[in-house]
Structure 1
Amino acid sequence: MARIAEVLDAFFDGALPVRIAAYDGSEAGDTGCPYTLDITSPRGLAYLLTAPGDLGLARAYVSGDLVLRGTHPGDPYPMLVLMAGRTDIPRPGPLDVLRLMADLGVSNFIPPKPPPEEHLPAWRTKLDGLRWFQRHTEERDADAIRHHYDVSNRFYELVLGPSMTYTCAVFARPVATLEEAQEAKYDLICRKLDLRPGQRLLDLGCGWGGMVRFAAREYGVHALGVTLSREQASWAQRAIKEEHLDPYAEVRHLDYRHLDEAGFDAISSIGLTEHIGVANYPAYFAFVADRLKPDGRLLNHCITRADTRRDGRAGAFIDRYVFPDGELAASGTVVSAVEGAGLEVQHHENLRRHYALTLAGWNRNLVDNWDACVAEAGLGTARVWGLYMAGSRVGFERNEVQLHHVLATRTVEGGTSYPMRHAF
């Protein structure tokens, strides 16, 4: 039988600049590299062979059958940055499969059961109705949000830090702390929205209530946040009481589509657009426009594609382990949908490099609190978070994904109070 590491090294699309080792004692790749991809079991090999691409690698890694030696599992960034752009495994054709079976054995092509941390697609779990095959229904969205955000509030406290903010921060300087940068982000959004005491703010997809609490505390507004995560709402409601913000701040466990109130002076949407589906952008921004006062402002903060050449869907690893049904589009698609809803875009800003710094901070927190995170959420989940955050950092650094702010107003006939030049 062929030596496993040598076969796998040739399997990747381009030479890997790391060492490859396997349980049969074989080695290949750059044997002088301090980082090693170590396939420790036949199950790990079967994962790689039966799910080519990032899904097979992720399954083997999350299950512990692929070990990234030389890096901490809470921050495998040093190894991932070396491998960036070189981990694509072409889907083999029939002749290639037969050759691999002859080299590695037929038994290695029997797909193992996915790790329990994987969010299986609807067709494998919900065969009780065609509604599960339609993306972004209320039921399916609620299921996707539960998978990612209802892991454990304590786990998120350890990873995110005291701000409990799970969106891109804004670094006034690269050495700013994560807490300083998250506060700077909220303050920038408040200034872009031109918030004034007594105004009404709606925060869609409010998470643990960071924006709601900051705007109420620092700008004196009456802030309402809604989230589809029961765990987030519970945590935020408790934090509001502890900070004595009850008269000014509220968070509800609610699908935004069921929110009836309108007449808001400002709406912030921070990290929600990624979850609603590109096809639903027009309806979403029409909903926003209907709930703004004339001359009211919208600040949409979301991850975007760096180009228009790919469809909106995430890769298999992100879709199965991190953000089920998540979709991204180029920033121009977001702007077009905002304008299509009758809103006037006033400002458009890319904060891509800030997200790379944010992710580095979350990885540091995960490493510093590794044992507690594993005890709270399990080793597989901790591995998922380390891998996805470090991999996302590489993506933002390489301009594969971006983060955009789009500021818009509900401009009406008779003019606008928006200044001739930006005041923020």
Structure 2
Amino acid sequence: MTQKTRPTTPSLTIAEAVDSLMRDGMPLRFTAYDGSAVGPPDSPVALELTSPRGLAYLLTAPGDLGMARAYVTGDLLLHGVHPGDPYDALVFLQNSLRFRTPTASEGLTVLRSLGLGSLRPPPPPPQETLPRWRRAVEGLRHSRGRDAEAIHHHYDVSNRFYELVLGPSMTYTCAVFPHADATLEEAQAEKYDLVCRKLDLKPGQRLLDVGCGWGGMVRHAAREYGVHALGVTLSRQQAEWGKEAIDREGLGDRAEVRHLDYRDVLESDFDAVSSIGLTEHIGVRNYPAYFRHLRDRLRPEGRLLNHCITRPHNRRQAIGAFLDRYVFPDGELTGSGRIITEAQDAGLEVMHEENLRRHYALTLTGWCRNLVDHWDEAVAEVGEGTARVWGLYMAGSRLAFERNEIQLHQVLAGRTTASGADGFPLRPTW
């Protein structure tokens, strides 16, 4: 009796397997470590998969997390762009890559061709923090201890690295460009000055700046407006740098930076409070307590300026896996409407709001340019993997701001008196 043989399933190369998942074919050049290639050889952007580990990253963490892991480790290379600013590649990929869902038999063919061993997850890159569910052992989300660890993960990378990326202003928040040709430094100075003007700062007044970073707002307000400014930050490295900068500028009699959680600021009767880039870290559920705390720090007729990244909608939404694991652990964003609502419910009178979305895209363009210009020194300072994380995240964020996937809002509010006095003129003066 003759034994029947089963038909063999055709084996695919890596390039053929990837191409089979494309809806309209591979729009760019893709090469793999098995020698296979697919896509137009003259495409402006090319992808190179350099190792089995990179393939395992892609298969075991589909989406942006797997690609980020392979890219950060150098197992997935982008040709045609600088790693300090892969913006052009991200635009091309977002506009051109169109995946399709394979049938069960097609999926099985792909997996058999690539090898079941590729489904064993490799250890993640050292730049990656734990997933949200595992971070729970460090405490509840946005507890003091867990917030301190999240801030440490992102902001205590290296002060020298931040100097290379941010430039002399050492300002890691959206700038305000007075005109399209303004330099990044001019735009950062304009941002601080706009905040000061909105707060109507006067010599001798007291300012509290929560989440003060390296003390840029504190120093600008003290130097240019003669106020007594206190800044607080959860980053020890930021606080140390800020104190040294205050001493260098001879502002010690009017400016101070403390390594302190904003919730531990007990002083009150401030004339103004600024919060520039802090709200993204505190959690949407904590907005009521956050705004109540800041309101209680103000004197009657005092002003609050809240500056933060927002969504174009008002639903509570956690950030994506790549940003959560590599950049802003526990970060959450929502819309300006939710922020205004919570500020009002905390007893603040909202007087003005402004969307600076396009300004943040320009800011990120400047930061990426700085990273490219100082790439070798940045890599020597923090390692190529971390430098790749920053180039990828900043270029991706620029694209998101340009496409209105995220926004940047300044909300100006005040603490009115019992009789309704708010201290504002009839029309804005800034």
Partner secondary structure for residue 251 of structure 2: coil
Does the alignment pair 1:413 with 2:418? yes
Q: 1:272-351, aligned counterparts within 5 Å?
A: 272-308=278-314, 311-351=316-356
Matching residue within 264, 268, 277 for 1:262: 268
> 1:373/1:221 Cα in 2 relative to 1: closer, same or farther (>3 Å)?
same
Tell me the secondary structure at the aligned position of residue 71 of structure 2: helix
Secondary structure class of the residue paired with 2:333:
coil
C-alpha spacing 1:323/1:393, structure 2 compared with 1 (3 Å): same
Q: Which residue of structure 2 lines up, in the alignment, with residue 221 of structure 1? A: 227
Q: Which runs of 5+ in 1 are unaligned?
A: none
In the alignment, which residue of structure 1 is the partner of 2:61?
Answer: 51
Equivalent runs, 1:80-159 vs 2, <5 Å = 80-84=90-94, 98-121=108-131, 123-124=133-134, 132=138, 134-159=140-165
Per-residue CA deviations over 1:375-398 (Å, capped at 9, x if unaligned) read: 001110000000000010000011
- What is the SS of the residue equivalent to 1:140? helix
**How far apart, in 1, do the equivalents of 2:355 and 2:77 lie?**
35
Q: Which amino acid aligns with 1:285?
A: F
Whether the 8 Å contact between 1:304 and 1:328 is mirrored in structure 2 is yes
Question: Helix, strand or coil for the counterpart of 2:302?
Answer: strand
Q: In the alignment, which residue of structure 2 is the partner of 1:200?
A: 206
- Taking the aligned partners of 1:422 and 1:320, their CA distance within structure 2 comes to 41
SS in 1 for 2:230: strand
The verdict on how the C-alpha distance between 1:14 and 1:335 changes in structure 2, with shifts beyond 3 A counting, is farther
- Aligned twin of 1:383: 388
1:327 is matched by which residue type in structure 2? Answer: E
Please name the residue that 2:87 is paired with.
77
- The answer to whether the Cα contact below 8 Å between 1:47 and 1:60 also exists between their aligned partners in 2 is yes
Query: Which AA in structure 2 matches 1:75?
Result: D
Q: CA deviation at 1:12?
A: 5.6
> 2 CA distance for matches of 1:340 and 1:96?
54
Counterparts of 1:119 and 1:294, CA distance in 2: 43
**Contact conserved, 2:139 with 2:145, CA < 8 A, in 1?**
no
- 1:64 paired to 2:64: no
Cα deviation per residue 1:59-108 (whole Å; 9 max; x = unaligned)?
Answer: 00000000001100001011111122666878989777544322311011
Equivalent positions of 1:160-175 (< 5 A) are 160-175=166-181
**2:332 is aligned with what amino acid?**
E
CA contact (8 A) 1:172 1:181 kept: yes
Give the match for residue 3 of structure 2.
Answer: none
Deviates more, 1:218-227 or 1:36-45: 36-45
The 1:313/1:93 distance shift into structure 2, 3 A limit, reads: farther
Residue 315 to residue 98, structure 1, CA distance change in 2 (3 Å): same
Match for 1:245: what amino acid?
L
Cα 1:268–1:24, aligned 2, differ >3 Å: closer, same or farther?
same
Give the whole-Å Cα distance in 1 for the aligned partners of 2:322 and 2:163.
24
The structure number with the bigger radius of gyration is 2
CA contact (8 A) 1:308 1:329 kept: yes
* 1:94/1:151 CA distance change after superposition, 3 Å: farther
Q: 1:238 to 1:40 in 2, by over 3 A?
A: same
* SS of corresponding position for 1:84: helix
Unaligned runs of 5+ in 2: 1-10
Give TM-score, length-normalised by structure 1. 0.95
CA shift, 1:148, in A, is 0.4
Question: Which of the residues 4, 11, 18 maps onto 1:8?
Answer: 18
Q: Partners of 1:88 and 1:255 in 2: how far apart?
A: 45
Distance change >3 Å, CA 134–CA 88, structure 1 → 2: farther
Deviations 1:250-283 (A, max 9, x none): 0000011111111110000000000001111111
Residue 8 (structure 2) aligns with: none
The RMSD of aligned alpha carbons is: 1.9
Query: Is this contact kept in 2: 1:213–1:240, CA < 8 A?
Result: yes
In the alignment, structure 1 residue 393 sits paired with structure 2 residue 403: no
Aligned to 2:360: 355
2: distance between equivalents of 1:86 and 1:335? 38
- Shift of residue 15 of structure 1? 5.7
CA contact (8 A) 1:15 1:86 kept: no
TM-score normalized by the length of structure 2: 0.93
Moved more, 91-100 or 318-327: 91-100
Matched with 2:218 is: 212
Is the 8 Å Cα contact of residues 21 and 101 (structure 2) preserved in structure 1?
Answer: no
What secondary structure sits across from 1:223 in the alignment?
strand
Q: 2:28 aligns with which of 13, 18, 22?
A: 18
- Cα pair 2:28 2:40 within 8 Å, conserved: yes
- Letter of the structure 2 residue corresponding to residue 291 of structure 1: R
2:28, 2:295 → 1: CA distance? 51
Aligned partners of 1:119, 1:397: CA distance in 2, in Å? Answer: 28
Instruction: Label 1:45 to 1:332 Cα distance change in 2 as closer, same or farther (>3 A).
Output: same
The question of whether the paired residues in 1 share the 8 Å contact of 2:21 and 2:102 is answered with no
**Aligned residues, how many?**
419
Q: Percent of aligned pairs with the same residue?
A: 64
